[in-house]
A and B are shown apart, each in its own frame.
Chain A
Amino acid sequence: MKSITHILFILVATLFVVSCEKESLTIENEEAELMSFDSRKSNPFMGSTWLQEDQMGRPGVNTVFVSKDSKDQFNVTIPSEQNAIFQSMFQNNLMGLSPAFSEPDDRNALGLTAEEFTSVLATDVLNVSFIKPTTFFDGTNVLTGRALADDVITVELILIFGGETGLTDPEFPQFSDDNVDANDATFLTSFPYLASPW
């Protein structure tokens, strides 16, 4: 009697193990099919969903004007909604950062107050002209693009710390120019324009 029970137990156990293995084999086959679909994909767009993590328009905007605890939120706020949420933060941070904007009616070289300047910056997009030279600023053209050789940092420093005469006689000269005015490598005149890596 005992040995029959034993045998039955072993039979049942074996059946159980075999059926489990069968099940895992089926799952493996499904996974293998999925994998081979991926490797058969002719491009990575097919059957895909993508969720935003980072964004950028003008240089230095998130770094300088968005408060530390809000940077992640800024990165997933679409530009058309940025002004309503962030303009007053930008303005507070600008006035706190720059002695050239300590008063609400202080203006910069573009003639803008802190409120007006940050209203431009808070929608973080690059304005690009299709009919003029493309540059962040070249003495004549303002915010018509961003070229590789543009000294965007000094332009922004002048607009933040330079006061109304920032272009010719900055109010705070020690903050208005980092004195690095060119890239370390020479750009290419043809595509892809950026210089070879170091």
Chain B
Amino acid sequence: MKKFKNYFKLLTVLTVGLLIVAADHIDAPAVAGGGSDITDFYAFNGENSENIVFVANVKGLLSPTATQRATFDENIMIEFNVDTNGDAIEDMVIQATPMKKRMYFVGPITPSQTGLVSTYDTNPDVEVNSVKITNYNQPPRIETSHDGISYFAGPRDDPFFFDFAQYTAVLNGEATGFREEGVDTFAGTNVLSVVVEVPKYMFGDVESINAWVETKRKQ
């Protein structure tokens, strides 16, 4: 009997684990779990409200052990898109991609082309800043550019919280609603984060923007 109970427990844990990945934490087949898979995107006022902060998270559900080995994919660019005139087409972008233990950044700039493809020639006329990628168990490495943009890239506690296991149980007809005391499926897990804090004036004299994040793969 005990053996059966333990087996059942293991099955449950495995099933819940397999069903997981949410916010965009659960993503589409082509990207799920890989280096281009975005788990979350945030945009909020900086400590100084003259700045806006953008956060992009990738590589969700990292256990502490897995976090030690987790790296940003050098073939992936993370791109923050900002629409300043309300047409949902990017007017400015901030792009981040790693190379040899540093995260390199461009922007905010007006992109030479909008949409699904970004190209740079061999000697592009853009300012590039970089920050050393923070290692696990290291205080956060931060760089600030001469014009006041702050950069961070590295592992962080996953800020997302949701009783995703119960949501799945409800969808599967195994539960009739959420639990009175929910359990955060993402507690104790980490992600890899890119955080940039940007003076708002760099996006022009606007009262609001639309923003979204993309990942792009090097061709």
Chain A residues engaging chain B, CB cutoff 8 angstroms: 41-57, 59-63, 66, 71-72, 74-76, 78-80, 82, 123-131, 133-135, 144-148, 151-153, 173-175, 177-185, 187, 189-198
Contacts and interface: CB of A to CB of B under 8 A. Distances in A.
Given A50-B217, A53-B36, A146 B155 contact: no
17 contacts: A46-B123, A48-B120, A53-B216, A54-B24, A54-B38, A55-B215, A57-B210, A59-B24, A61-B24, A78-B116, A174-B177, A175-B170, A179-B180, A183-B160, A191-B53, A194-B55, A197-B67
Contact of B157 (A60, A131, A198): A198
Ranked nearest first, the 5 interchain pairs of A and B with the lowest CB-CB distance are A174-B177, A71-B28, A179-B182, A50-B216, A180-B182
A126 B210 CA distance: 6
A47 B77 CA distance: 14
B23 A59 contact: yes
A162 B46 CA distance: 32
A145 B46 contact: no
Q: Determine the main DSSP class of A at the interface with B.
A: loop
Given A43-B99, A55-B213, A128-B211, 16 more contacts: A42-B128, A49-B118, A49-B219, A50-B117, A53-B30, A55-B215, A56-B23, A59-B24, A80-B89, A125-B211, A128-B208, A174-B178, A178-B178, A181-B161, A197-B62, A197-B137
A82 to B, nearest CB: 8
Contacts of A194: 55, 156-157, 159, 193, 195
Interface of B: 22-31, 36-38, 40-47, 52-53, 55, 62-64, 67, 74, 76-77, 83, 87-89, 95, 97-99, 104, 106, 114-124, 126, 128, 130, 136-137, 140, 142, 150, 152, 155-157, 159-163, 166-167, 170, 176-184, 186-190, 193, 195, 197, 200, 203, 206-219
Contact of B52 (A49, A128, A182): A128
Contacts of A54: 24, 27-28, 31, 36-38, 214-215
